[in-house]
């Protein structure tokens, strides 16, 4: 599956500080990929309507059993509200058993710097994984 391109969801003042979250999620087996992909698309739809979401993109590497997300949020409160809301809360709880590993990174940037590109997200994730 190709990358789902960055979708701008809302505007923010270019100088406003916003929160970016990038994640790398790996499932244990290829047999878990179809279900995880379906769940990822459900959560992408949820993010697109979430209050405070500014933009989102998703990348799947099915044969590597790896999924990547990249999103920008008005603030941490909006991001945490999304992750605590349904269906995200239940979906992620249900998928824990099939997960091999996950990496999440958060940082702040100016709204005018959006969208963040994949190489920047990958760099930050790789740095976080090296530190762990």
DSSP symbol at 85? S
3-class DSSP state of 64? helix
Per-residue pLDDT of the chain (132 residues; tens, 9 = 90+): 579 999 999 999 999 999 999 999 999 999 999 999 999 999 999 999 999 999 999 999 999 999 999 999 999 999 999 999 999 999 999 999 999 989 999 999 999 999 999 999 999 999 998 887
Cβ atoms of 108 and 17 within 8 Å: the answer is yes
Kindly report the pTM of this predicted structure.
0.94
Domain residue extents for the chain: 3-131
Structural domain 3-131, CATH architecture: 2-Layer Sandwich (3.30)
């Amino acid at each position: 599956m190709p990358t789902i391109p960055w979708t701008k969801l809302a505007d923010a003042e270019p100088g406003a500080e916003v929160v970016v979250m990038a994640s790398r999620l790996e499932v244990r087996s290829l047999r878990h990929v179809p279900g995880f992909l379906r769940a990822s698309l459900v959560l992408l739809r949820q993010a697109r309507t979430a209050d405070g979401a500014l933009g989102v993109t998703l990348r799947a590497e099915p044969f590597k059993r790896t999924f990547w997300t990249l999103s920008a949020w008005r603030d941490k409160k909006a991001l945490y509200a999304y992750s605590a809301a349904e269906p995200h809360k239940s979906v992620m709880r249900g998928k824990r058993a099939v997960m091999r590993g996950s990496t999440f990174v958060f940082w702040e940037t100016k709204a005018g710097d959006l969208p963040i590109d994949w190489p920047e997200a990958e760099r930050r994730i790789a740095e976080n994984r090296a530190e762990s």
